[in-house]
Structure 1
Amino acid sequence: MTAAGGTAAVVHVVLPNDIDDPATPSGGNSYDRRICAGLAASGWAVHEHAVRGTWPQPSMTERAELAGVLAALPDDALVLLDGLVASAVPEVLVPQSHRLRLVVLVHLPLGEEAVRSRAAEGETLAAAVAVITTSAWTRQRLIDLYALPADRVHVATPGSEQAPVAPGSATGSELLCVAAVAPHKGHDVLTSALSAVADLRWTCLCVGALDRDPDFVDRVRQQATTSGLQDRMHLVGPRTGVELDAAYAAADLLVLASRGETYGMVVTEALARGIPVLATATNGLPESLGHAPDGSLPGMLVPPDDPTALAGALRRWLDDAALRDQLRHSARGRRGTLTGWAVTSALVANVLACVPVTAGRSA
């Protein structure tokens, strides 16, 4: 990617400070890192600014540090900001929008989880020259929440890397949940559902951060112990790299009991290995699950916050070998339809390239 005169197009990317912290893996951080790498690979000059802060609830000092980063950028600079940072601080972003070309990448609408955050997020997004979302559901939700012009809100769904097909076991008993243990991920619902199928053979490996809500983690552990699941449901903390790959390779079924999910990158990570998915039919999860080329679902969808429905789907999976074969066939078909991160990066690059050079300059 080059600008007029043959020089590389420049983008400044503002990221949370934990972008590369292996102790706090997240879909948002992974997405951001992939996009920065993809833009650089396609010829962009990418300048990263990882800003310290307890985002999206920064201190006054942390807000001031972000303001300092933006103030140091030249007029008309193109700036791509992670929404976790940008959407919480309109008092910092809006004044800079008159001289900088601000593009906000929204992984999770803050106003979706906390109504009190809507005014701030709406003000920030209204000041941006473009907004990029990670799913069609998120795009429409932002348009509905903030009456944003539809032509300024774009979609760049996460990519996935092809991986060896997980062989699966004869019994389908190896369940995997990849999600931070926090209320919105529904581990309490999952535990209730697992207790309802305790008469069947299964183990469930729960991979994900344990420090987001320690009180909730304690409640889930106590719930599992009370239900007699402490030796079958394992909360093992975050895993990355080869350890995460090994968890997927050993899995028969990915289970995600989320109460809300803008997309669900772990769904496509499982499908990239031909692993069927049992998830909730909420927000962007049906979009990430998608369909196999023959139109079949590569898994099952149940209502959110419904342990009875989740338990019923688990029982069908564990009891019915023909169903397992059918869903595995569909998941392997869906695997072939997934796009890579180069496609995602190209979508983001196209949005950035279409921002006029003078868009952020005050009149």
Structure 2
Amino acid sequence: MSAPLVFAVPRAVDDPERVSGGNVYDRRVRDALRAAGREVRMLLVADEPGALAVALRGLADGALLLADGLLVSREPGAVVAEAHRLRIVILAHMVEPDPDEPRLAAFRAALLIVATSEWTRTELAAQGAADAARVVVAHPGADPAPVTAASEDGGRLLCVAVVAPHKGQDLLVRALAGFADRPGWTCTVAGSLRADPGFAEALGSVVDAAGLADRIGFPGVLDGRALEDAYAHADLLVQPSRSESYGMAIAEALAHGVPVLATAVGGIGEAIPVRDAAMLVPPDDPWALHVVLQQWWADPARRAAAKAAALAARSIGRSWAGTAAVIEAALAEAERAPAPLRTGAAS
């Protein structure tokens, strides 16, 4: 029988006001592992200095630990200090653009790393965080969803992401400002407004100044039925991210048969199983977004083709059960490691 798993995650993992791709991934993996028969004990770690170190010191020797990479990056020394006695697997949702040596040392101290995309795996190896052979890829899943019916003019835009600079909502607003005189379109920007309140406030001011407050809405976090309703009333998902390890909202949109306009960054391409289901533009380029939106609205045949491709993508999307199966295999490998796991891991 498999040993109990200790899953260390941010304390806010279930906070409805702090929904993020990482938190959603953690919750879905937790549930899928439990459904597959793995005993999972959640270790909720506060956003406070030293919290991870205290939490890890309380674990028994030889415990199997899956640690959210956000915690590891915040407190790498805690992982290095305990790697000699714990079976540690790190779940890397993202890649630090300029990792320092302590962070790299923490990733090197783990037995294995689970990455959410091939792009993340490649970046971690390039940074020297881990040999590529120690990194397994467990892409996010997406639940089967009802098909969304397209409107006649394709004017219902949706963006789903925490409202923050790296998600690029400012680029989308700048692109849409050029369509202030064009009737028939709306844009819902769904995501937490608490991650970077200054950015969110500035974005709202730009929308007001452009006279678009009745066209661009910021409802905050949408979850459950509210998020389903947002997809049900969307013609196009627009994700203008400056950085993205995968793009869970893209996978969710395609599961609803909603085409995508996104920036060609990071692992976004891995979330698109049918090429014509998405239109990709260079990052940090509001003019490129503007041009593609103009083409989208001007060409019904283009919209129909993208819709057909998005519907085709629904049948080949990934499942959360498949995600959990990859992670379970990594955990099983870590369980087979001898104890102490690696001589000198804490040095």
Q: In the aligned structure 1, how far is the partner of 2:132 from the partner of 2:84?
A: 21
Partner amino acid, structure 2, of 1:209: S
The Cα offsets for residues 86-128 of structure 1, whole Å up to 9 and x where unpaired, read as 122122111100010111001012x22xx3x432321110110
Asked whether 1:146 is paired with 2:132, we answer: no
Distance in 2 (CA, whole Å) between partners of 1:145 and 1:290 is 28
Say which of 158, 162, 171 aligns to 2:153: 171
Question: CA 1:313–1:273 in 2, change beyond 3 Å: closer, same or farther?
Answer: same
1:228 positional shift = 1.8
- For 1:321, the equivalent position in structure 2 comes to 300
Work out whether residues 259 and 282 of structure 1, in 8 Å CA contact, stay in contact via their aligned partners in 2. Answer: yes
Q: Is 2:78 aligned against 1:92? A: yes
Which residue identity lines up with residue 169 of structure 1 in the other structure? S
The residue aligned with 1:260 is: 243
> What is the distance in 2 between the residues matched to 1:176 and 1:315?
16
Is residue 210 of structure 1 aligned with residue 193 of structure 2? yes
Which is worse superposed, 298-307 or 38-47? Answer: 38-47
TM-score between both structures, scaled by the size of structure 2: 0.95
* Higher relative contact order (Cα pairs below 8 Å, separated by 6+ residues): 2
SS at match of 1:297: helix
- 1:282 aligned counterpart, secondary structure: coil
Of the candidates 21, 26, 35, which is equivalent to residue 29 of structure 2? Answer: 35
Looking at structure 2, the residues matched to 323 and 215 of structure 1 have their Cα atoms a distance apart, in angstroms, of 37
Partner of 2:312: 333
In structure 2, the partner of 1:251 is 234
Segments ≥4 residues shifted beyond 6 Å:
none
**How many Å apart are 1:302 and its aligned residue?**
0.4
Aligned to 1:358: 338
1:228 aligns with 2:208: no
Instruction: Tell me, in whole angstroms, the C-alpha distance in 2 between the residues paired with 1:217 and 1:107.
Output: 23
CA distance in 2, matches of 1:90, 1:347: 25
Identity across matched positions, percent: 42
Q: Indicate conservation of the 8 Å contact 2:273/2:316, yes or no.
A: no
User: Quick one: distance in 2 between partners of 1:172 and 1:309?
Assistant: 18
The one-letter code matched in structure 1 to 2:314 is R
In 2 relative to 1, CA 362–140 (structure 1 residues): closer, same or farther, beyond 3 Å?
Answer: closer
2:221 paired residue number: 238
Q: Give the AA of the match of 2:158.
A: L
SS in 2 for 1:205: strand
Q: Tell me, yes or no, if the aligned pair for 1:133 and 1:156 is still in contact at 8 Å.
A: yes
In structure 1, list runs of 5 or more residues that go unmatched.
3-7
Contact 2:259 2:310 in 1 (8 A): yes
1:10 aligns with 2:4: yes
Shift of 1:66: 2.2
Shift, 1:147, TM fit: 5.2
Give deviations 1:65-88, integer Å, cap 9, x for gaps. 322221221111110000011122
Say if 1:163 and 1:273, in contact at 8 Å, map to a contact too.
Answer: yes
Letter of the aligned partner of 1:358 in structure 2? P
| Kept after mapping to 1: 8 A contact 2:113/2:134 | yes
| Secondary structure in 1 matching 2:276 | coil
Preserved CA contact (<8 Å) 1:75 1:361:
no
The 2-side partners of 1:331 and 1:9 are apart by 41
Question: Cα deviations across residues 186-221 of structure 1 (Å, max 9, x unaligned)?
Answer: 111101100122333310011001111111112111
Q: Which residue matches 1:346?
A: 325
1:103: which partner in 2? 89
Contact 1:76 1:357 in 2 (8 A): no
Distance change in 2, residues 1:156/1:360 (3 Å) = farther
State the partner residue of 2:177. 195
Letter in structure 1 aligned against 2:169: H
Work out whether residues 276 and 305 of structure 2, in 8 Å CA contact, stay in contact via their aligned partners in 1. Answer: no
- 1:5 maps to what in 2? none
Give the C-alpha shift of residue 360 in structure 1. Answer: 4.5
8 Å Cα contact 1:9/1:43 also seen in 2: no
Q: Which residue of 2 aligns with 1:269?
A: 252
- Asked whether the 8 Å contact 1:129–1:360 carries over to 2, the reply is no
- For residues 219-263 of structure 1, the C-alpha deviation after alignment (integer angstroms, 9 at most, x for no partner) is 111111222211111111111110111011000000011101000
Tell me how large the CA RMSD over aligned residues is.
Answer: 1.3
Unaligned 5+ runs, structure 2:
none
Structure 1 residues 335 and 360: alpha-carbon distance in aligned structure 2, compared to 1, 3 A threshold: farther
